[in-house]
Amino acid sequence: MSAVIVRRLLAFLATLLATSIVVFVVLEVLPGDPAQVMLGVDAEPDAVARLREKLGLERPTTVRYFDWLLGFATGNLGESYTYSVPVLELIVERLAVTVPLALIAMLLTTIIALAAGVFAAAHHNRPGDWGVMLFAQLGIAMPNFWFGILLVLLFAVTLGWFNAGGFPGWEDDALASFQALLLPAVSLAIVQSAILARVTRSSVLDVLREDYVRTARAKGLSKRAALWRHGLRNALIPVVTVMGLQFAFLLSGTIIIENVFYLPGLGRLIFQSISQRDLVVVKDVVMLMVAKVVIINFVIDLLYVVIDPRLRTAR
Amino acid sequence: MSTAVVSIGRFFRYGNFAIGIALTGLVGLTALVSFFWTPHSAILIDVAAKFRPMSAQHWFGTDHFGRDVFSMIMVGARNSIAVGVVAVSASVTFGTALGLLASARRGWIEELLMRMSDLAFAFPAVLTAIMITALWGPGAINAILAIAIFNVPVFARVTRGAANAIWAREYILAARAAGKGGLRITVEHVLPNILNVLIVQATIQFALAILAEAGLSYLGLGAQPPYPSWGRMLRDAQSYLFEVPEQAIYPGVAIAIAVLGLNLLGDGLRDAFDPRLVRKR
């Protein structure tokens, strides 16, 4: 078992390193002179030179790269060019919005999808199943930001129950802050749970056809007991895979949704940073988001090993 | 099963396929007609006519610049389809080539290509688009590039998985015994036999590409004004949600119809190519 984990750990570290090289090359080497990009083509040569010095661009590329990596380890991510505050500070502040948003969205996704998926499988080829599948098909076709706008239209514009956007801040008003995250979380969750419900349904159906479930039924277990005692663990493997992928991509989903609801999260930060050409922030936040995808994939890999003991001995 | 002998009649027995082709056809036809005719100009600004409600003259009303929304939706279809077609074609070409290469060569080449696709998978299309935009500014081409980059590993993996299964078949052994080389076997035997899988996947990725394009242009990272795009129309509509709420509906419905149509088409094609799946479900 430990050999499998070590192998996966090495692959994980290698992927992480490779992604960091890609991000660094694209955002710091390809632009030629990042200082010029940040200030625009019409900038005074003096100003460009000053910024270049401030960013330490005179140093060799490899030194800058390792410095940047080291910054992630020590928390020294440099200073934002537009906000003139340490990037780490900016990121931590924004994470207080994005992380709760992603967690609420994922929680809602899991509850809705598992309930709907198992329900559909239990009512296979009956109206309940068709109903769930119809809603799933529609949910998958809807852009989540459009769903968000429709929610605003209904709950903010028409009914007036929620604000159309904005975020009061946890210190000022925790309850209102939580409320501000609800509609965005629902917009993210509905579309994702449509996908996950389909996966859950077909996975449960597959498992119900397995020999060991038939054996369990033959020894007198009810369909439900056979599923819960023997089937669910196996049915969960594809579900966990898709959940992992969804959670990993949730952060990029939040980029759009945070813009729909004017939430001051990581997604909005990166978006504002592009319009302000603040490459320092863009580079750090992109790396953080990509690292999150890689880390979650790694955790999912480890979860497989926990769920399916057969994988412990496999290559 | 070979691709060519699947009869049209059998396709239409599958409801998914029929609805899918109808919706996709509707979107395609709209885009096509928009080249020759739209009720009004989709670009010309007439501020005096802004926020007109639905009427015989303006079927979906007018936007904050007085442009005819129905005409904009029609021209927007062109944009969505163009981005989808170009991005998916590019990623099918590269992804399939890489997948076939990995499958034909195996060993370290396969390992390297698959690790590279792991790497590319870590970059969601929105992030790629953001990086490209940080470099070269926003635009339709950059959106296409970001969506294509994201899709290449998808096709590489699907191709490799399907091709590996074909390489294990006996007729490949026979072809080898007949003295055919790796390239010839790939072109003559492997590719034709995985075409079904690729067509289904391409249809689904096309749907995802339309969603991604809508998201990017909503953020302002896609097609730039004055060319209408469904995503940006939603952004504009959101700014005037209190004045003309109904305008936040039309572009979203258009996106949903296009995506739903392609998804159903993909499902229908899969069922038609492999009827065993239908019985199993």
Average pLDDT over residues B89-108: 91
Q: How confident is the model at residue B5 (pLDDT cuts 50, 70, 90)?
A: very low
Contact A149 B133 (CB under 8 A): no
> Between these two residues, B272 and A129, which has the higher pLDDT value?
A129
Chain B nearest C-alpha distance from A81 (Å): 14
Q: Digits of tens for pLDDT over chain A (315 positions)? A: 577 788 888 888 988 999 999 999 988 888 777 787 788 778 888 888 888 887 778 888 888 899 888 988 888 888 887 788 888 988 999 999 999 999 999 999 999 999 999 888 888 888 888 889 889 989 889 999 999 999 999 998 888 888 888 888 888 888 889 989 999 999 999 988 998 998 898 888 888 888 888 888 888 888 778 877 777 777 887 888 788 878 877 877 888 999 999 999 988 888 888 888 888 888 899 998 888 888 888 888 787 777 777 766 644
| B68 phi, psi to nearest 5 deg | -75, 120
Sign, CA torsion B270/B274/B279/B281: negative
Cβ atoms of B109 and B230 within 8 Å: the answer is: no
Q: Could you write out the three-class secondary structure of chain B?
A: CCCCCCCHHHHHCCHHHHHHHHHHHHHHHHHHHHHHCCCCCCCCCCHHHCCCCCCCCCCCCECCCCCEHHHHHHHHHHHHHHHHHHHHHHHHHHHHHHHHHHHHHCHHHHHHHHHHHHHHHCCCHHHHHHHHHHHHCCCHHHHHHHHHHHHHHHHHHHHHHHHHHHHCCHHHHHHHHCCCCHHHHHHHHHHHHHHHHHHHHHHHHHHHHHHHHHHHHHCCCCCCCCCCCHHHHHHHHHHCCCCCHHHHCHHHHHHHHHHHHHHHHHHHHHHHHCHHHHHHC
Residue of B118, B232, B244, B263 best to disrupt the A interface, most CBs of A under 10 A: B118
The three-state secondary structure class of A75 is: coil
Residue of B23, B112, B126 best to disrupt the A interface, most CBs of A under 10 A: B126
Half-sphere exposure of A179 (CA within 13 A, CB side): 13
**A152 neighbourhood in chain B, CB within 8 Å:** 238, 241
Is A255 an 8 Å CB contact of chain B?
yes
Residue of B238, B265, B276 best to disrupt the A interface, most CBs of A under 10 A: B238
The mean pLDDT of chain B is: 85
pLDDT at A270: 87
> Between these two residues, A246 and B280, which has the higher pLDDT value?
A246
pLDDT at B271: 80
Cβ atoms of B67 and B224 within 8 Å: the answer is: no
Predicted TM-score of the model (pTM): 0.87
% of chain A exceeding 90 in pLDDT:
20
Domain boundaries, chain A: 2-74, 87-313
CA gap A215, A234 in Å, rounded: 15
CA gap B102, B241 in Å, rounded: 51
Query: What token pair was written down for B56?
Result: 């015989």
Average pLDDT over residues B155-178: 88
- CA closest to B212 among chain A residues: A143
**A18 neighbourhood in chain B, CB within 8 Å:** 115, 119
Is A17 an 8 Å CB contact of chain B?
no
Q: How confident is the model at residue B2 (pLDDT cuts 50, 70, 90)?
A: very low
Q: How confident is the model at residue B7 (pLDDT cuts 50, 70, 90)?
A: low
User: In the predicted model, is pLDDT for residue B142 greater than 60?
Assistant: yes
Contact A143 B263 (CB under 8 A): no
Query: What token pair was written down for A263?
Result: 């939430």
Contact A146 B281 (CB under 8 A): no
Contact B115 A26 (CB under 8 A): no
pLDDT at B28: 94
Average pLDDT over residues B132-146: 85
CA gap B230, B236 in Å, rounded: 10
Query: What token pair was written down for B41?
Result: 């100009």
Contact B115 A15 (CB under 8 A): yes
Is domain A87-313 given the CATH code 1.10.3720.10 in the classification? Answer: yes
Domains and CATH numbers, chain B: 18-34+45-52+60-280 (1.10.3720.10)
pLDDT at A205: 85
Question: In this predicted model, what pLDDT tens digit does every residue of B232-270 receive, in sequence order?
Answer: 999 998 888 888 888 889 999 999 999 999 999 988 888
Question: In this predicted model, what pLDDT tens digit does every residue of A83-102 receive, in sequence order?
Answer: 888 889 889 999 999 999 99
ipTM above 0.90, yes or no: no
